[in-house]
Structure 1
Amino acid sequence: MLYEQIFGQLAQRKVRYLVIGGIAVNIHGYPRATGDLDIMISLERDNINEFITLVKDLGFSPRIPVKIEEFGDPEKVEMWKKEKQLKVFSVYNPQNEFEHIDVMVENYIDFDSAYSRREVVSARGIDIPVMDIDDLIELKRIAGRKRDEIDIKALQKIKEIKNEGR
């Protein structure tokens, strides 16, 4: 499975999402290794259901032992957040476990606002919405992991370089 196929399906099915995480960091100009696709989606019921249908059609399965449809049940998701401290819902391709998508179960930044500020990159005719650099820095600040601190420093440096060029 290529990211191209996933992005193509997300666009075709009109799933409202933003690329976040390592791939977004790469797109903004800081090359670092990443092993998954991290996204934030609009948590509106129809959008979640379309995402669920998409990953099922691609043959993906949840990493945790639940039915994939349960991601569309707000009560189940709340239970996962409380009982399992779940921050992302991970789905993977059982044919190739290196192919996986992590989708945030709670949006720590308002999705609609972030979506309005998104940067769109085109690859092979597919428009890919990427979280804007300021929102990405804020999201990483909220996450607060060591890896995020490194990304924040790199992203701030990229912002400085871009601002010098203006």
Structure 2
Amino acid sequence: MNLGRDFLDLLSLFNTNGVRYLVAGGYATSVYAVPRYTKDLDIWLEPTEKNAKAILNALDEFGFGSVGLQIEDFTKPDHVVQLGYEPNRIDLLTQLKELDFHTAFARKNVFRLSGIDVSFISPEDLVKNKKAVGRLQDLADVEQILAHHPGSDS
């Protein structure tokens, strides 16, 4: 899987700054099933003040320090911060439908991509979220994930 240099650089900065995150969405689907096009990188963030400070530090180092983001942008429930433009857009999410961050974080899978450890949502949690969202692409993703990870539908 190729995340692209910018995405990997950001995730590396998240790791360095101790950000608690999980890659979700299309890129997570590509890890667990067949790679597919996606217009953005979905990153689910733990919505705590401590994590928000770490996120802001990482974003500052990444070059987004001047966009006016604040701690509240990463602690409000069901909030999305979008950075950049498709197909290189980064969506920073504080909530995923039907999931609890702490529970999902405990079940995460870490994959080493281009020398960087990247935390991904588990296939079970990804399936649960995609079923809850229910868009056609999400339901197609569920079929693909289950074809490659049959036990993920629990």
Asked if TM exceeds 0.5, the reply is: yes
Question: How does 1:77-116 map onto structure 2 within 5 Å?
Answer: 77=76, 87-92=79-84, 98-108=87-97, 109-116=99-106
Deviation at 1:125, TM superposition (A): 2.6
Q: CA deviation at 1:134?
A: 0.5
User: With structure 1 as the length reference, what TM-score do the two structures score?
Assistant: 0.76
One of 14, 34, 38 as aligned partner of 1:34: 38
3-state SS of paired residue (1:157): helix
The runs of 5 or more residues in structure 2 that have no matched partner are none
Matches within 5 A, 1:1-166: 2-60=6-64, 67-69=68-70, 70-72=72-74, 74=75, 77=76, 87-92=79-84, 98-108=87-97, 109-160=99-150
1:19–1:131 Cα contact (<8 Å) kept: yes
For the pair shown, which has the larger CA radius of gyration, 1 or 2? 1
Matches of 2:136 and 2:80 in 1, distance apart? 18
User: Can you list the C-alpha shifts for 1:31-52, whole angstroms capped at 9, x where unaligned?
Assistant: 1101211011111111012112
Of residues 23-32 and 53-62 in structure 1, the stretch that sits farther from structure 2 once superposed is 53-62
**Kept in 1: contact 2:42–2:90 (CA 8 A):** yes
1:106, distance to aligned residue in structure 2 (A): 2.5
Unaligned runs of 5+ in 1: 82-86
| CA deviation after TM superposition for structure 1 residue 8, in Å | 1.0
8 Å CA contact 2:13, 2:61 repeated in 1? no
1:21 alignment partner AA: G
TM-score, L = length of structure 2: 0.82
Q: Which moved more, 1:1-10 or 1:128-137?
A: 1-10
Give the 3-state SS of the residue equivalent to 2:118 in structure 1. Answer: strand
Q: Which moved more, 1:13-22 or 1:117-126?
A: 117-126
Change (3 A) 1:42 1:105: closer
